[in-house]
Structures are given as C-alpha cells and as structure tokens.
C-alpha cells in the first residue's frame, strides 16, 4: 500500500518542506532501505558523520526521524515515502532493524495505555467524579457567558439603531474589542463570528459588503436568541447552539458513543486561520453508510498543523460523531487505518445533480439553521469565467444550471486548466450563497484545490 506522490506531498507541513522532501527522494542519498506490511525505513546521509534514521508507520501514516528538524514530517520522512512511491523495488522486504521495532512497539504500547486509561475512565466512580467536577466548571462558565451575551446584546442594539450604512464609519478596533470581550467571557465561537463580521466590512473595497455584513449580524442575533430559549430546543439543536457559542464536547465523551464503521473516502480539505489559531477540516464520505464525516484539526501560534488525511485516499475503520442536529464532525477510533489511494470513482460518490444536492442542503439547513457550509459533489460541471463579476468564476452543468464560485477561491485558472474545456467532477463546500471548490477528479486522479494545501 502506498500513497501517490501528490498525496505524500500534501502531508508536508509547508511548501519548503515539500520542496526539500522532493530533493531527498533519490536513491543516491539513501542506504539500508527496507520495509514490510507495517513500516518503511532507511538511512539518509546528512551533514553529520552518522546518517539520519527515518521510518514510517504506514497505518497512520506516522513518521519518525532523528534529525534535528522541528517540522513534522521532516524532509527525510517525505523523501523516504516519495522514494517508495516511485521505486518500491528498492525497499528490501525483511525484518525491521531494532530501532524500527522499538519505535513500532512504543507506538503500540502507547495505544494500549490509552485504551487502558479510557477503560479506567469508564468506571462508575471515575464517571461520577468527572461529572461533579464538570458541573462546577460549567456553572462558572455559564455565568461568564451570560455576562458576555449581555454586552453583545447592547452592542447589537447600538448597531441596529445606527443602521448598516454607518458600519464603515466605525473604527475597526471596535470589532476587535468586542471579539476580545467575548473571548474573555468564554464565548470564542461568537468572537470568531464578530471578527468575521469586521472582515466582511473592511476586507474589500467592492460592492456587496452590506449584504455580507447583514448576514453575519443576523446569524449573531439568531444564535443569541436561540441560546435564550435553549432548554426548549431539540437536543441536537442545543448542541449546535452551544457549539456556535464556543462550548466543546470532549473527545472522551464522543468516543464513549457508538461509532460508525465503514470505508471512508477522503474527498477534500479546507485550511483556515482565525487569529493565531490555524485549522484544517478534512471531509470524508462513507462507502456503505453514505454519511459525511469531518475531521477537524488545529494548531496554535507557530505550531504546524498535524498531517491531514491525504485527499483521494481511502481509510477503513470507525468514526465517532460529535452530538449535533446534523452530525458531521468526528473523532477517529484507534482502528481507523489508511488502506490505499483511490484509483477510480468509488461507490461512495454516486452520480448526482444540482437539484439532489440542494435538496440535501435544504434538509440539513432545516435541521440546523446555523449551518455555515455543506459538502457537495458536483458531477459533470465546467468552470466558466466571466470578467467583471464580483464572483467571476462559476461551475456550469450541461443543462445550464450554474453555481457561483466564492471570490475567496484563488485557484480558478488551475481548475480551468485541469478541466481543459471539458466537464469534470468537483468536490467543495456550498456556503448558502457561493461554492468553494476543494478538489477535482480528472482522469483517475484527485487534485487538491485547497488554497493552502495547493501552495505546499
């Protein structure tokens, strides 16, 4: 089992690492190459006397190297995997050396300890103690959030009284100050919405900012009103409202719920930044269940994002869904393993149409009015460019139906080149008013269109 070169490069933490890793994918730089069903390994000569030991657990994939690099995976890990993808015959199938066996064993022991810890945490005594402690923390946070919401109410009332036309006359620091206040009162979800509202007002010089700002203000007000009557809402919608404000369900609680076992196709990913926090949302589709799943990963400050599941790959195993009105965010269970790259169109992505996709979106929106985006697979669409429009790109079906591509999508000409004037399959996110393409499927290959990932 191996990933394609494109999928391996997508694991790189940045463009520099991808470029450096490509430079390491040469037989002349390696010795002691070997592998078996679980792992790959090799020795790469660097500037020091002793070569670096690079190794890959294929099930993850997970990387380890004793070089001094702080990037993960480092260039040696990327180079080793690229070399295997290009010339697997160079890797002698044999027993792993001790340094590889020790690493694999340590990974297995950590997994076993994690399982034992989870089992211990599931005892009645541990659950009771955890619930009591959690109740105290929740009560304290509840008071903080109520304080922040009271300030938000007054702020929204002032904006409504002054009107949309006056928004750009207000200093931009007002939005930053309101967002900071909400963070202080433990409502980070609302703080992100306020920052996004500020960006919609000051982020562009063109027309249309008033409509974008009105939408954000309406969502803020809707979340606030829903929270005021939280107890009367369905349980799933309660989780959506709390999540929109900033409450997070622990992974332990999510893993305690029944999971869904399936073969999962990785269709695309979207990278974003909110202040000093980076995130990557990876979208998967279950082959048998037909369910969408989203793996959300974070980084803070200068920390690099963990390697995301490669677009176009197939995983097999169990995912556990966070509680929600429309469950989508998941945690991977320990049995979730990378199986192989997707060589063709799998049954999980059956042919569809704009009408079917919008019907599914309408159902999801009815269940969760706070839905910000919805994954869609668009079959047989052609990229079309019309200069002069606020959103110059669109995706057009054979019957003439078209979806506007969001102006934030910067890979329009790349997508146009991939299509070559012919229809193709595009996966992306419908945001209610525009579409963000994340991947394209052409001639048996899946291309990552995420802005950040493409640059790497």
The least confident of 57-71, 119-133, 365-379 is 119-133
The pLDDT, as a whole number, for residue 118 is 73
The pLDDT, as a whole number, for residue 80 is 94
Q: What is the mean pLDDT of residues 56-80?
A: 90
Q: What is the mean pLDDT of residues 348-356?
A: 73
The pLDDT, as a whole number, for residue 323 is 94
Share of the chain above pLDDT 90, in %: 48
Look at residues 109, 118, 4 and name the one whose alpha carbon lies nearest to residue 61. Answer: 4
Q: Is the dihedral of CA 204, 207, 208, 209 positive or negative?
A: positive
Look up the pTM and report it. Answer: 0.74
Q: What is the mean pLDDT of residues 427-455?
A: 81
Model confidence at 445: pLDDT above 90: no
The pLDDT, as a whole number, for residue 204 is 58
The pLDDT, as a whole number, for residue 139 is 81
The pLDDT, as a whole number, for residue 275 is 67
The pLDDT, as a whole number, for residue 30 is 94
Summarised one tens digit per residue, pLDDT across range 176-226 is 899 999 999 999 989 988 988 888 787 655 567 788 888 888 989 999 899
Q: Would strands 30-35 and 92-93 be described as parallel, antiparallel, or unpaired? A: parallel
Model confidence at 56: pLDDT above 90: yes
Model confidence at 456: pLDDT above 50: no
Summarised one tens digit per residue, pLDDT across range 259-294 is 999 999 999 999 888 767 788 999 999 999 999 999
Q: What is the mean pLDDT of residues 42-49?
A: 87
Model confidence at 344: pLDDT above 70: no
């Amino acid at each position: 089992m191996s990933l394609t070169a494109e999928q391996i490069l997508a694991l790189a933490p940045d463009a520099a690492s991808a470029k450096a890793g490509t430079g390491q994918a040469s037989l002349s730089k390696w010795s002691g190459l070997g592998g078996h069903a679980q792992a790959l390994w090799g020795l790469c000569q660097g500037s020091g006397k002793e070569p670096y030991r690079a190794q890959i657990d294929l099930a993850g994939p997970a990387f380890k190297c004793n070089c001094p690099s702080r990037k993960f995976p480092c260039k040696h890990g990327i180079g080793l995997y690229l070399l295997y993808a290009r010339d697997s015959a160079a890797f002698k199938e044999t027993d792993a050396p001790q340094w590889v066996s020790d690493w694999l064993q340590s990974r297995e022991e950590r997994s076993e300890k994690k399982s034992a810890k989870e089992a211990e945490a599931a005892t009645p005594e541990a659950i009771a103690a955890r619930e009591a402690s959690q109740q105290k923390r929740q009560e304290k946070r509840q008071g903080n959030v109520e304080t922040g919401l009271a300030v938000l109410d007054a702020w929204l009332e002032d904006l409504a009284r002054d009107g949309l036309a006056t928004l750009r006359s207000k200093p931009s620091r007002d939005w930053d100050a309101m967002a900071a206040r909400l963070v202080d009162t433990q409502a980070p979800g609302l703080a992100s919405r306020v920052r996004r509202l500020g960006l919609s007002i000051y982020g562009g010089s063109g027309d249309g900012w008033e409509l974008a700002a009105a939408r954000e203000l309406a969502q803020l007000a809707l979340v606030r009103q829903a929270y005021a009557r939280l107890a009367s809402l369905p349980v799933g919608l309660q989780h959506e409202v709390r999540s929109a404000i900033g409450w997070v369900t622990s992974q332990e609680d999510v893993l305690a719920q029944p999971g869904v076992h399936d073969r999962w196709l990785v269709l695309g990913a979207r990278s974003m930044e909110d202040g000093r926090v980076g995130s990557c949302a990876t979208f998967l589709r279950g082959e048998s269940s037909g369910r969408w799943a989203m793996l959300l990963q974070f980084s803070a400050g200068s920390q690099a994002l963990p390697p995301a599941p490669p677009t176009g790959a197939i995983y097999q195993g169990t995912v556990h869904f966070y509680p929600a009105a429309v469950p989508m965010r998941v945690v991977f269970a320990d049995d979730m393993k990378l199986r192989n790259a997707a060589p063709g169109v799998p049954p999980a992505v059956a042919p569809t149409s704009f009408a079917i996709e919008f019907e599914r979106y309408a159902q999801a929106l009815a269940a969760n009015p706070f839905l910000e985006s919805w994954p869609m697979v668009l079959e047989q669409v052609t990229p079309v460019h019309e200069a002069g429009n606020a959103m110059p790109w669109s995706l057009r079906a054979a019957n003439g139906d078209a979806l506007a591509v969001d102006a934030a999508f910067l890979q329009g000409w790349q997508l146009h080149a991939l299509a070559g004037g012919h229809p193709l399959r595009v996966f992306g996110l419908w945001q209610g008013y525009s579409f963000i393409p994340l991947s394209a499927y052409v001639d048996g290959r899946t291309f990552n269109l995420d802005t950040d990932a493409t640059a790497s």
